[in-house]
Amino acid sequence: MSDSTIRARFAPSPTGHLHVGGARSALFNFLYCRRHGGKFVLRIEDTDIERNIAGAEQKILDDLRWLGIDWDEGPDVGGPGAPYMQSACLDQYHAARDKLLAEGHAYYAFETAEELNAMREQAQAESGGFKYPRPDPLPLAADADKARAVGRPVVVRFKTPTEDVTIHDEILGDVTLAAGELDDFVIVKANGWPTYHLAVVVDDARMQVSHVLRAQEHLMNTPKHVLLQRALDVTTPKYAHLPLVFNIDGSKMSKRDKHKAVRQGAKDAIKQKTLTKERVGEITGADAKAVERWIKKKADTELSMEQVVALAVELNVEMPEIDVFDFRRSGYVPEALLNFIALIGWSPGGDREKLTLDEMIEAFSLERINKTAGRFDREKLLAINLDWCSELPTPRLLEQFKDWAALNDCFLGKLDDDTLSAVIDACRGFKIFPDIVTKAGILFEPDERVVYDEKAVKKNLAKNDGAGFAMLEQLRDALATVDDWSVDHLDAVVKNLVEATGSKMGDVAQPLRVAVAGRPVSPGIGQTLVFLGKDKTLNRIGRCLELRGA
């Protein structure tokens, strides 16, 4: 079934890297378009100029492309709906504002923030709720000019009709907001920029968006958008609000979790007197008041993500992965992350869990999206990543590993492609890329870097009157004569010794492993020795034998 009139969009604000919740919205819009032969549009919503972060737009584009999501129209590829950056569309928003004002759907207001706060406090004290009281008569343009002249902030508010608003949601069904629930919300701010509500409605209409798939946290915005669409006389797209993404403990997954982890780390350190608030100020460059408010959890916004990261590094606190880029840096492959994200709040039916992007496109339907929140189960993500990493072809893993290594400044990334491919294959069964370093990294480091794990030495070498050391001597002698330093041949040498001495495999291979790697963990024994080469193998065995009697 192909429907070229379907146009869906993903509309992130450039406030940082792409969050996994945002990635899920992007993915579902993308899948829906690809499933039905529609067009997928990417639009950058950057009208909230105080929240914009320089460079964030490019990061979001990169995060999406890393996941394998592409778009038919957008800021970097153009298209009939250009420009795809809201900041380049001020004229359109102003035209909409003028139309709404001229037709009596909007009016000027000029309260200062302090006056609004006082009104809110008074209303809350008297009746428990605040709704902006619509003035009667409504201010005119001349009043707005006068207010501006005396330095008052002039905004434009929407004259919200007093009627029930029912929106139809493709997932949740009809959702009604009773008359009077909405007040006259601001559509143009004092700085002349439209609020999100006006901009999103103007752009969805301008770009002929037919379907809006977005997170449920926007559900209560949708009645506002529908009322604005009616007032502007434009078509209302079909809406589908996607279930929220929760942490496994039931809290909402958000970048706040990063603040939470680092705040806890800072509080613990302050308690243990290894940190002072002054030092937090030095590390972050924030003033004392901001530090105090941040620590007391008055406001996360007191510290930027960069400042929080600086503190995390200093305190050695691990922050939970929240953004797509966090998972990339932690060593997940995009295929797995995308697969996992697709399953938060959607299922293809049956027991199917592992899906390629093409399979997702084939299976996608709005009917199979859940109404209730999805859980972000990190254990499951690890399992899915392991599955994908077991099956992906080596060249693809090589490419992804090198990307991960570059991001983490990991020395293994500098190996030549053939060796690195062999390392990756020898470590298959790994969950995430750092596991490869844990398992095989030491084989590519200088011999002096081998740290012998005491317990492992005791168990595999020293026990039973140094049986392991004795075996190691035999191994050294056998290996010293080997010319064909290949996996098969070296495996055969070990096996022969097992047979000749009537030992178990572990009694021969494990002392050797500990001798060359410091711990009883490494790839297959023949492969381990091949990665090391003959000289290093014999050198490490020699160094290990020196531990005898130590």
User: Helix H segments across 68-159?
Assistant: 90-102, 113-127, 141-149
The least CB distance from residue 25 to ligand GLU, in Å, is 7
Q: Which is nearer to ligand GLU, 9 or 513 (CB)?
A: 9
**Does residue 340 sit in helix, strand or coil?**
helix
Q: Of the candidates 6, 7, 8, 13, which one interacts with ligand GLU according to CB under 6 A?
A: 13
The strand pairing partners of 158, in sequence order, are 106
Tell me which stretch binds ligand GLU (CB under 6 A): 11-19, 149-157, 226-234, 333-341. Answer: 11-19
| Tokens standing for residue 207 | 């770009």
Tell me which stretch binds ligand GLU (CB under 6 A): 10-18, 249-257, 349-357, 480-488. Answer: 10-18
The least CB distance from residue 346 to ligand GLU, in Å, is 17
Which residues, 6 or more positions from 293, have their beta carbon under 8 angstroms from its beta carbon?
299, 302
Q: Residue 22 to residues 18, 87, 225, 259: CA-CA distances in angstroms? A: 6, 21, 20, 19
The least CB distance from residue 338 to ligand GLU, in Å, is 20
Nearest to 105 by CA among 229, 287, 285: 229
Do the strands 245-247 and 374-376 form a parallel or antiparallel pair, or are they unpaired?
A: parallel
Q: How far apart are CA 418 and CA 430, in angstroms?
A: 19
User: In this structure, which amino acid lies at residue 143?
Assistant: D
Q: Of the candidates 99, 148, 168, 218, which one interacts with ligand GLU according to CB under 6 A?
A: 218
Do the strands 155-158 and 165-169 form a parallel or antiparallel pair, or are they unpaired?
A: unpaired
The least CB distance from residue 506 to ligand GLU, in Å, is 55
Q: How far apart are CA 522 and CA 437, in angstroms?
A: 10
Map residues 185-214 to x or -, x wherever contact with ligand GLU holds by CB under 6 A.
---------------x-------------x
The count of other CB atoms within 10 Å of the CB of residue 19 is 23
The least CB distance from residue 30 to ligand GLU, in Å, is 14
Q: Which is nearer to ligand GLU, 314 or 323 (CB)?
A: 323
Q: How far apart are CA 223 and CA 158, in angstroms?
A: 13
Q: Which is nearer to ligand GLU, 41 or 410 (CB)?
A: 41
Say which of 131, 238, 252, 255 is annotated catalytic: 255
Q: How far apart are CA 15 and CA 13, in angstroms?
A: 6
Do the strands 173-177 and 165-169 form a parallel or antiparallel pair, or are they unpaired?
A: antiparallel
Q: Which is nearer to ligand GLU, 218 or 396 (CB)?
A: 218
Q: How far apart are CA 230 and CA 307, in angstroms?
A: 44
The least CB distance from residue 49 to ligand GLU, in Å, is 13
Catalytic annotation present for 255 = yes
Q: Which is nearer to ligand GLU, 120 or 218 (CB)?
A: 218
Half-sphere exposure of 85 (CA within 13 A, CB side): 13
45 binds ligand GLU (CB under 6 A): yes
Burial readout 126-135 (b: 16 or more C-beta within 10 A, e: otherwise): eeeebebeee
Environment class of 20 (CB within 10 Å of its CB; exposed 0-12, middle 13-18, buried 19+): buried
59 binds ligand GLU (CB under 6 A): no
Q: Which is nearer to ligand GLU, 332 or 346 (CB)?
A: 346
**Does residue 540 sit in helix, strand or coil?**
helix
12 binds ligand GLU (CB under 6 A): yes
Tell me which stretch binds ligand GLU (CB under 6 A): 9-17, 134-142, 425-433, 516-524. Answer: 9-17
Q: Which helix (H) or strand (E) holds 39?
A: strand 39-42
57 binds ligand GLU (CB under 6 A): no
11 binds ligand GLU (CB under 6 A): yes
238 binds ligand GLU (CB under 6 A): no
Nearest to 66 by CA among 400, 432, 316: 400
Give the binding-site size for ligand GLU (rule: CB under 6 A).
Answer: 7
245 binds ligand GLU (CB under 6 A): no
Q: How far apart are CA 277 and CA 544, in angstroms?
A: 47
* Catalytic residue list: 255
Could you list the residues that contact ligand GLU (CB under 6 A)? 11-13, 45, 200, 214, 218
